[in-house]
Structure 1
Amino acid sequence: MPEQPSLTTRQLMAGVHLDRRYRNAVIDELYEHEERYSAPSYDVDAAAVLAEALTARRTALRWAVPMALLWIAGFLLAGWLYALYAAGFTALAGAAALRRARHPVVRVTAGILWVLGGVVLGASFAAAAVTPWPDGWSGVTAAVAGPALMAAVAEAHRAAVEKRLRFIGSSTYRRSEQPRRFGMISALIEAERTSSMAVDPAPLLGAGTLLAHSAQATEVLGHTAVFEVSDVLARVRSRVGAVPGLTARVDECFLLPEEGAPRRWSLPHPRPDELPASTRWLRITSGDPGSRLTTVFVQIRLDGPVLFVQQATCALPPVRREFRAANRARFPLGRTLAAPAALPAELATWAVRRARRLPSSPPGSRPPSGPHLSIRELASEPTLPPLTAAEAERISWTVRLLVLDAVREVLRDQGLSAPGLNEQRTESHNAQNSGIHIGNITPGTIAAGFDARASDITRHTSPGPTTNPDDDSWEDDLG
């Protein structure tokens, strides 16, 4: 029996049926641009989501053809009336596209479009009922039966989508037959999902919101040739695995820049020992059943006598509310009302995309490119819940303590020392909502602003100003 998709994968598979823009983004990123590496997917089978997106597009096109034929017949038999119908249904389609917006102005605009579309359609139906048609029954049929047939096609499309949504949520789900080209792209996506190498033009794309970043550099005293980063990473793996609260998956990854990346179709890819040390990261992923994921990236490097420890913590928000619980998902009523205009638009969009691909070059001839977006991030809620952010901070601090303890232990076992680690010389900050919170700079000073400078205060030895008016020794310490 084929392996069943995870809960998060099923939610995204439902999303490609519920949101046309999301479906087109998935197809464009993973299928139309085969030269792009796929973004790391931590809790999603991207190939399964792509397969369902292609199925959703075929379903929409299957019902778009009869809808377009009805429009053509209507314009030929009752042109001016169908122009009014088109205006009303287009307004409803615009309202349906804007209904998920969070900005108040956009939501008000969607409401206005709903009212406008309803008024125009009502006036159109009234005009069809009172207008004497010179060509007899053909005009009456087009004016009355045309909208009824459009409603039937829209309802049939809705029923087909809801049936597919129930199938996605069932335990008997099977992937639909796909074109031969999909098999080649799916194999690449699967290979990249299990590979330790990732082309990462945007820092940590796919891991979610960057919540915290810390960096620490210190001098190692002793014969540093005996120090191996692999020993530290192995010790960190062991320590992380011993903490039940992390429920972590630990692996190594190599985040390569887009420039100089190997072609996606060229195999085999470089081995890990052939990649620069600056691209090597330890990736610690901790998740929960609510499709919320925290990923901590740790990098340890030794450049001469300087030991550098860097950590970045990212958190993925939950999947969008309307995508959740695929087996209970329903096709929105607003989209059914807007289907007479939306389905022909699907056909036009597909034709334009097809025309663009006609002069396409053979696979592997385009220069390699990193991912432009993550299909998991694109399906996430726009904000991170406060409890999820607090949990991510707990995981981040836990991992940081484990990493520093592992580094100290390895240094001690190899007869080395790093006084800076014991003195906790750290520089850390949290970056969120376009702000920066300085967590700790000890010891040291900070300066902000153009051409600002900060002086070192650790050399001052006097206690500072005193109540004795004749004691001005502290002024000498300030230079």
Structure 2
Amino acid sequence: MPEQQGEPDGPRPSGRPPEGAAPPPLPVTPPGASEATRLLCAGTYLDDTFRDAVIDELYVHEERFAAPSLGIDAARVLAHALRARRLELGWAAAILLLWIVAIPLSSGLVVLYVFPILLMALGRAVRRAPIPRWLAVPCAFVLRWYGRLSLTLFGLSLLAVACGGANVSVEWLFSPLPDALNPLTSGDPDGYGSSGGPSWQYALSQGMGASSLGGGGGATLLRVWIALLLPLALAALVALQRGQFARALARELSRERFPDVMSDPAERSQSYRFQRLRERVRIEQHGPLVMYRAADPFCGAGYPYKTWSLPVELNPRADRKPEPLDNGAILARIVPLVAALRVPSPHGSPAAAAAVRDRLRSLEIDECVFLPAEGLPTRAAAPYAPAEFEGHRAAAVEEGGETRRHFLRIRIGGWDEGIVTTLFVRVHTQGGMLMLEVAPHVLLPLRQLFQDADRLAHQYRHHHHFGKAVWALSRTPRSAGHALLTLLRGLLSSWRLGTAGHGAALPEGPGASVRELGSFGESSLFQDMDVARYLGTVQQRVVAGVTTALHEAGYQTAEFEKRVVHVAEGGVYIESAQGAVGVGDHNTITHHTAHRGSA
């Protein structure tokens, strides 16, 4: 069985634990060293769309507050996103520079590569186009293979001329192709094919400039060799770029070295803007104060699982006089019951209890206050200081406001922070009524490409040279277009950075969450089972805490208990905004279609 974080070494002896003994809590992994953070950093090198989204949210839009980063360090992901973009811009510039230098040196022969490359790109575009599949597939097939065949024949013609000199005819290379499929090599006497374009043979003869190698023949032959070696040089750059990513996964992004933040080269950037925004993000992302925008207040928490609310009348019991019951007193009853979930059940000995690896042992509880970002003069004016936050917390617990809201936040990070379950609990009393609100949210696993980063890097590093060469050559035709798009995206980002005026804009809530941007949206059956267990267990303790608080304050609990259906195994089903479902012996089971993740 693979080791999980917090698993103690040594055997697991049996025996009964002494009375009152409790194992120490599981060691907490800092968010910046978590596995989810590492995979997100690796994802910035694999997915340019994800990388650009991270940079746009945290670096370009500096007026936006950072979304809560549950189990990750978004600032470290930003550091690697900027580093990955710098590296990719460098490789893109090298690829385009190679093309630019090769054009005059080859007397324009390398331009003839463009036609087959465009055909292959058009084939990929047609396959993804919104047209009937029966039409898209054959059209894409013809375009791709016609481009590949044209590219191969052009390369062979260059090789024949380079090896045999100007006296070698290359017509035999194109003779198997019918004229209808060979418009570029028709051999018209005027140098133009049937389609009106210049033939390859004519272009080659123009590139040779003479029918013999005498006089300027050596320079002419050099032009042909330059055109012939261009694809190999481009393939070498593509391979080196991929090799750099593979080396990064083996070094600074490896499981052994990643926890050492100070040795991470991405963190050592000298950019003043990056250093300033990095510190700002690290203040905001893990603090108990959540600055939100009204359209998405729980940004960063993941996908919502049925938010449920439970209203109950505060009716005094006949046997005693009720005591004042405020929101803080109810929450004070909930917290110790939920915190007790960290303690393993008796397993025979302290060592056996300490060996329990249930993620509930690392359950986190804190109080958070949600404040709207609108109305602040600057982003730095948010009340993140401990004294300012405590003032907001003390007032928000009892006021029951619409925009400023207090929540008890309960978080369980499972599967190395790959599945994060968070429950936001709010209690409000008003007019003799008590309202209990619970908003469960789940962050689903990271994209499969990110999870496979180590596997991809390992496979590339240990692949034989022939396999690496084939991989690089197969991606060489699209390298120029990809490099051009990369430079255009970088230029557009720099243009927005310099002209959009985000630095002077009024602050606003987060537009996106780095953790949510990296999520795939699907989870395994094991993960779904764990989420269901976490939610059921914590919700049971929350309900028990409210019941206890009501009873001890002298209020009736019968009405509250009627709204909670207990099943034989201790599960809890709550009446939600979507309807009530009762499950158990001699109950009528009602099935209805619900959103994914519902109870």
1:3, 1:391 → 2: CA distance? 21
**Could you tell me which residue of structure 1 aligns to residue 483 of structure 2?**
343
- Deviation at 1:25? 0.9
Q: Report the secondary structure of 1:371's partner residue.
A: coil
Please give the residue correspondences for 1:54-203 in structure 2 after superposition, counting only pairs within 5 Å.
54-76=82-104, 77-78=108-109, 80-84=111-115, 86-87=117-118, 90=121, 118-119=148-149, 121-126=151-156, 128-129=158-159, 130=170, 131-132=204-205, 133-135=207-209, 136-137=220-221, 139-167=223-251, 168-173=253-258, 174-176=263-265, 177-178=268-269, 179-201=271-293, 202-203=296-297
Q: Is the 8 A contact 1:404 1:421 kept in 2?
A: no
Query: Does the 8 Å contact 1:75/1:82 carry over to 2?
Result: no
3-state SS of the aligned residue for 1:161?
helix
Other-structure match for 1:45? 73
1:3, 1:373 → 2: CA distance? 19
Give yes or no for contact 2:323–2:553 (8 Å, CA) kept in 1: no
380-389 or 80-89: bigger deviation? 80-89
CA shift in 2, pair 1:150/1:29, >3 Å: same
How far apart are the structure 1 equivalents of 2:541 and 2:485? 55
CA separation in 1, counterparts of 2:138 and 2:85?
28
State the partner residue of 2:510: 371
Deviates more, 1:181-190 or 1:113-122: 113-122
CA distance in 1, matches of 2:138, 2:516: 27
Matched to 1:238, the amino acid is: P
Asked if 1:439 is matched to 2:560, the reply is no
Matches of 1:344 and 1:208, distance apart in 2 = 35
Is 2:498 the counterpart of 1:400?
A: no
1:93, 1:341 within 8 Å by CA — same for their partners in 2? no
In 1, Cα distance between equivalents of 2:73 and 2:146: 42
Distance change (3 Å), C-alpha of 1:118 and 1:380: farther
Q: What corresponds to 2:185 in structure 1?
A: none
Let me know the Cα RMSD of the aligned residues: 3.6
Paired AA for residue 413 in structure 2: G
For the 8 Å contact 2:419–2:443, the answer to whether it is kept is yes
1:286 to 403, 412, 437: 412
Aligned to 1:240: 338
Aligned to 2:511, the other structure's residue is in SS state: coil
**Do 1:297 and 1:312's aligned partners in 2 also have CA atoms closer than 8 Å?**
yes
> Runs of 4 or more off by more than 4 Å in structure 1?
88-95, 107-117, 126-130, 222-225, 331-336
| Residues 368/67 of structure 1: CA separation in 2 closer, same or farther (3 Å cut) | same
Larger displacement relative to structure 2 (354-363 or 404-413):
354-363
Structure 2 vs 1, CA of residues 237 and 230 (structure 1 numbering), >3 Å: closer, same or farther? same
Structure 2 distance, partners of 1:420, 1:408, is: 10
Alignment of 1:251-400 (within 5 A): 251-260=366-375, 263-269=378-384, 271=389, 272-275=393-396, 277-278=400-401, 279-290=405-416, 291-324=418-451, 326-330=453-457, 333=471, 336-337=475-476, 338-361=478-501, 363=503, 365-400=504-539
- Structure 2 counterpart of 1:421: 560
Gap change, CA 1:111 and 1:428, over 3 Å in 2: farther
Q: Shift in Å at residue 309 of structure 1?
A: 0.5
The one-letter amino acid paired with 2:67 is A
Q: 2:57 aligns with which of 2, 14, 29?
A: 29
* 1:212 to 2:311 alignment: no
Of 52-61 and 84-93, deviating more is 84-93
- Rounded Cα–Cα distance in structure 2 between residues aligned with 1:438 and 1:226: 31
Of 141-150 and 126-135, deviating more is 126-135
Q: Is the 8 A contact 1:88 1:120 kept in 2?
A: no
User: Helix, strand or coil for the counterpart of 2:33?
Assistant: coil
Residue 46 of structure 1: how far off its partner (Å): 0.5
Instruction: String of CA shifts for 1:125-181, please: whole Å, max 9, x gaps.
Output: 346454332442354144212222111111111111211121201523422222111
Change beyond 3 A, Cα 1:268–1:316: closer
Task: Report the Cα distance in structure 2 between the residues aligned to 1:428 and 1:114, rounded to whole angstroms.
Answer: 57
Measured in 2, the distance between the counterparts of 1:428 and 1:148 equals 66
**How many Å separate the matches in 1 of 2:322 and 2:150?**
79
Partner SS for 2:299: coil
Aligned in 2, Cα 1:10/1:305: closer, same or farther, shift over 3 Å? same
CA 1:427–1:395 in 2, change beyond 3 Å: closer, same or farther?
closer
Change (3 A) 1:336 1:282: farther
**2: CA distance, partners of 1:91 / 1:156:** 27
The structural deviation recorded for 1:239 is 0.8
Shift of 1:187: 0.9
Distance 1:93 1:185 in 2: 39
Structure number with larger C-alpha Rg:
2
Counterpart AA for 1:393: A
In structure 2, give the amino acid aligned to 1:166. A
Change (3 A) 1:199 1:86: farther
Question: 2:250 is matched by which residue type in structure 1?
Answer: R
Deviations 1:67-102 (A, max 9, x none): 11122234442364142254257469879x98xxxx
Q: CA distance change for structure 1 residues 110 and 324 in 2, over 3 Å: closer, same or farther?
A: farther
Partners in 1 of 2:230 and 2:501 — Cα distance?
A: 43
- Equivalent-residue separation in structure 2 for 1:306 and 1:110 (angstroms): 67
Q: Which amino acid aligns with 1:146?
A: L
